[in-house]
Each structure stands twice: as structure tokens, then as C-alpha cells.
Amino acid sequence: MTVSLTFDSYGSADNPAVVLIHPFPFRAEFWSAVAPAMAESGFYVVAPNLRGCATSPSDSSEPDMDLLAADVWQLLTEQGIERATILGVSLGGYVTLAMLRAKPEAVAGIGLIDTKVTADSPAAVRNRQRIAADIESSLSVAEYAEQMLPTLLSQYTHENRTGVVDQVRGWISASSPATIAWLQRAMSARPDSSSALESFAGPTLLIRGADDVVSKPEDFQVMLDLAQNSTFIEVEKCGHLPPVEDPKANAEAITSWLVSN
């Protein structure tokens, strides 16, 4: 079953719709430093809180990426939005691809930021399942946040953007163990989306943090080889979360792409 998501919005609902989907295990506020620039450029920006995140409800459904996509499509229907450009970071990219698989005719364009189009490897599946089990039993969310920070943020951010490090730590620490476990299992079970990306003729924006150790250059090469109409941007001194590590550069890159398409 779908749930009714809470969301942040920017700009006039009369403008073309842009949907921004946050990464794991964050919330719509992740986009707060970049979304206003898009609204100022003539777009209506909707940033959902995925199920279980921030103030969005959760339920006992089996973890499923397609269910997260259906939640967002339901939100857009409730807002009277029939067609949108959808951008997502990491988990948000997986949801973006699931939305594309479900309703390609309603997708005007997609943005995939520090994510990948392929399914998890068997080793990655095992690791996600281990994390889910640990967070439900012995691992505190605060401990998990400290484990994630070195992987999520570039060394430059750790050394020069301490406010960003504190913000990311706070967002992770505010997540519920149940949501972390549910989302990890949903990500581990996601299908390969290569055929959906390959068949999509609309504009595709690919953004990678140059120092990302999670989404590697070879992951982006796969997407570049598949996408019919792609724009690739690498953001210097950023890791896995460019929109919060360097909001100015990312707002400019995304807005420029939106305006040109």
C-alpha cells in the first residue's frame, strides 16, 4: 500500500514541476540549499519525505523500491501534477529510476546524482542485510552516523565544511532504526534499471562528486553508455552528497540544465 507523504515545496504550482528525492537516510530538508534557485528560475519544486523519513508515515509493507516510487507518484497525483522532471541522490536515484520504470510517459527528464543504474552485487546485498539486522539489534543510530560520515563526505568537506558534517550527522541521528532497516532492505532488493534508462529518450543529467567513494567513475560510465540524451557534470571537492557539500555549484548545474531542457 502507498502512504501519504509529507513534502517541502518551492515556487508556484503553475510552473513546470521538478521533483527532488533525497538520499538515504535523510529527508526533504536535504534540498533546502539548492531548491530555491530552481524555483527562482521558474520551476515548481516538490521535495518529498520518503516513507518513514521525517514526518512521513511508514507501515508494515515489505521493503520495496517500487513502493517508494508509487508513494511519490501518488503525491504528485494529489498535487495535480501529471508530468515532472525527477532528480535523486543515491537512494533518491534508485527511486527516480523506479518511477521511470513505472510511468515513463509522465517523466519529462531525470537527474541521477551519485547513484547507479545496476542492482546490488551479492556482496553489497549481504552488507545491507547485515546493517539492517545490526541497527535493529545492537547498533545505535548515533554509532551508525559516525560509521557513515567518512564514506558520505569528501575529505575536503570533513576538513573545511564542518557545519556540513554536523548537519549530516544530525540528519542521520534523527532517523529511526526501523526506517534505516526498511530502506536498506528495499535498496538491496532493487532490480537493475538499465533497460529503463536505455529506452528513455528525454534529457538525463548525471552528476558525480569527484571524490565519491560509493558511486564510482565506472558506475557513471555505464549510465553514460546507456543514456540517449545525457549531460555529465563532476563536482570538485565533493563526495557522495554534492547538493549539501557544495550547494552553490550544484544549484547552478541543475538549474542550468533545467532551463536548457
Q: Which residue has the cell 516510487?
A: 69
* DSSP 8-class letter at 16: P
Between the CA of residue 259 and those of 39, 41, 123, 135, what are the distances in Å?
A: 11, 8, 40, 42
Domains defined along the chain, listed by start = 7-120+190-260 (3.40.50.1820)
pLDDT tens digits along 218-232: 999 999 999 999 999
Q: What is residue 146's predicted lDDT score, i.e. its pLDDT?
A: 96
C-alpha to C-alpha distance for 5 and 19, rounded to whole angstroms? 13
C-alpha to C-alpha distance for 111 and 88, rounded to whole angstroms? 6
Bond before 243 cis per omega within 30 degrees: no
> Over the chain (261 residues), what is each successive 10-residue block's mean pLDDT?
94 97 97 97 98 93 97 97 98 98 98 98 97 96 96 98 97 96 97 98 98 97 98 98 98 97 92
Q: What is residue 247's predicted lDDT score, i.e. its pLDDT?
A: 98
pLDDT tens digits along 85-129: 999 999 999 999 999 999 999 999 999 999 999 999 999 999 999
Please report the DSSP string for 166-211 in residue order. Answer: HHHHHHHHTS-HHHHHHHHHHHHTPPP-HHHHHH--S-EEEEEETT
Q: What is residue 59's predicted lDDT score, i.e. its pLDDT?
A: 87
Q: What is residue 64's predicted lDDT score, i.e. its pLDDT?
A: 97
Q: What is residue 56's predicted lDDT score, i.e. its pLDDT?
A: 95
Q: What is residue 131's predicted lDDT score, i.e. its pLDDT?
A: 96
